[in-house]
Amino acid sequence: MRIDVPRLVLGAASSGSGKTTLAVALAAALRARGLKVAPFKCGPDYLDPGYHARASGVASHNLDGWMMGEEAVLSTFARAAAGADVAIIEGVMGLFDGASPASDAGSTAEIARWLGAPVVAVLDASGMARTAAAVARGLVDFDPALRVGALVCNRVGGRGHLELLREAVRVPPVAGGLPAREDLAFPERHLGLVSVAEALPGATVAAWAALAEEWLEVDALLALARSAPPLERPDRAASAPAAPVAGRPRCRIGVAWDEAFHFYYADNLARLEALGAELVRFSPLHDAAPPPVDGLYLGGGYPEEHAAALSANEGMRRAIRALAAAGRPIYAECGGLMYLASAIRTRDGREHDMVGLVPGVAVVRDRLQALGYAEVTTRAPSILGPAGLTFRGHQFRYSELAVPPSVSRVYAVAGRQGAPLLEGYAAGSVLASYVHAHWASCPAAAEGLVEACAR
């Protein structure tokens, strides 16, 4: 299949350079021009895609080379970008940073090469002039197979500063900059950016769109996107979710979705639907009980920020325990695991009772407890399928949970060195883990969950 969608990858020398700001500003400006923008995020991030969706008006999809592989990346891009006028792919960390310091596996550069997409380098230019040329030249020359076609200077001090940068940087051409605007900055929380509902009102999106038109060479960036060559991909990719099954659903899966739970890969949800599951959103915070469903998917989020309210909703907690007692599959990741624990101890030392399906108290710490990619092999049958399944995912958490040895541990989580960590807590029809899985790496796991719910 040939796909010819104009596209840009936004990369940088490091995290915090302004990639998300540029992605929001550019997407909003292009949307205001009447263009259909398809947004994407490199890497395992859950938060930035929410910002993209607010700016572009459509869901943003993750593209992760390490978790998904090339075939699934191309298939997801082709599916989500179909019919779009332009695709904007925000990078992760620095342009060449990924799963290993010795290769670009899992990096923004890897995704840009697979997509044949020109790169817009985003530079935090505060306090910088001629040195910007050295940084830009390094990004351009490091990988000759990568095309870095433009530079956008973020946090410029004014028009004069931007002109100095234009004079200093010859390659790649400077396609404008964005001024430092603390009044429009996206607030942060211990897990990164706060949720989009809290931090990105429509007025802020409109303000960044106006700044993009005022300060960026939007037409030049569009021309760069349109210079991307046609993309070839297999007609049928086995790792890509198919179209949703028509007719009566095989099962109904309740998906926790509110201020406390909203970290899901769009690709995972699409796979469940393609396998015949009807997904029904519900709120553990606000609803009295889950809707009539055959199973639950409790994703990550901020349960610690809403621990008191989650604990106060006793009816919901009782209903989830009843579903487990009835043998309905309950699959939980990270924040979902914390919710299924006996309690959450927040940073102020207070303990809040939770569902109690996984014994132990989830204790929120001031420092990161785990960060990075994870490869899981199942050691026993579970609601995801037989033993021996291998899939990839990611962890990013500030909490820890001590679970009694008597609780079954289905996952062997490979580490960089030493014995694998035994995790993936299972009891009856419940499976809970700190790992956020991406099922492109193992479509059979999504099939197993749907089959368990259908049964």
Q: Active-site residues: which are they?
A: 334
Could you tell me which of 168, 163, 206 has the C-alpha nearest to residue 184?
Answer: 206
Q: How far is 87 from 81, CA to CA, in rounded Å?
A: 7
SS3 per-residue string spanning the chain: CEECCCEEEEEECCCCCCHHHHHHHHHHHHHHCCCCEEEEEECCCCHHHHHHHHHHCCCCEEECHHHHCHHHHHHHHHHHHCCCCEEEEECCCCCCCCCCCCCCCCCHHHHHHHHCCCEEEEEECCCCCCHHHHHHHHHHHCCCCCCEEEEEEEEECCHHHHHHHHHHCCCCCEEEEEECCHHHCCCEECCEECCHHHHCCHHHHHHHHHHHHHHECHHHHHHHHHCCCCEECCCCCCCCCCCCCCCCCCEEEEEECCCCEEECCHHHHHHHHHCCEEEEEECCCCCCCCCCCCEEEECEECHHHHHHHHHHCHHHHHHHHHHHHCCCCEEEECHHHHHHEEEEECCCCCEEECCCCEEEEEEECCCCCEEEEEEEEECCCECCECCCCEEEEEEEECEEECCCCCCEEEEEEECCCCCCEEEEEEECCEEEECCEEEHHHCHHHHHHHHHHHHC
Beta bridge partners of 330: 296, 430
Cβ(441)–Cβ(67) under 8 Å? Answer: yes
Q: Which of 48, 306, 13, 319 is nearest to 139 (CA)?
A: 13
37: left (phi over 0), alpha (psi -120 to 50) or beta: beta
Distance from C-alpha of 111 to C-alpha of 304, rounded to nearest angstrom: 34
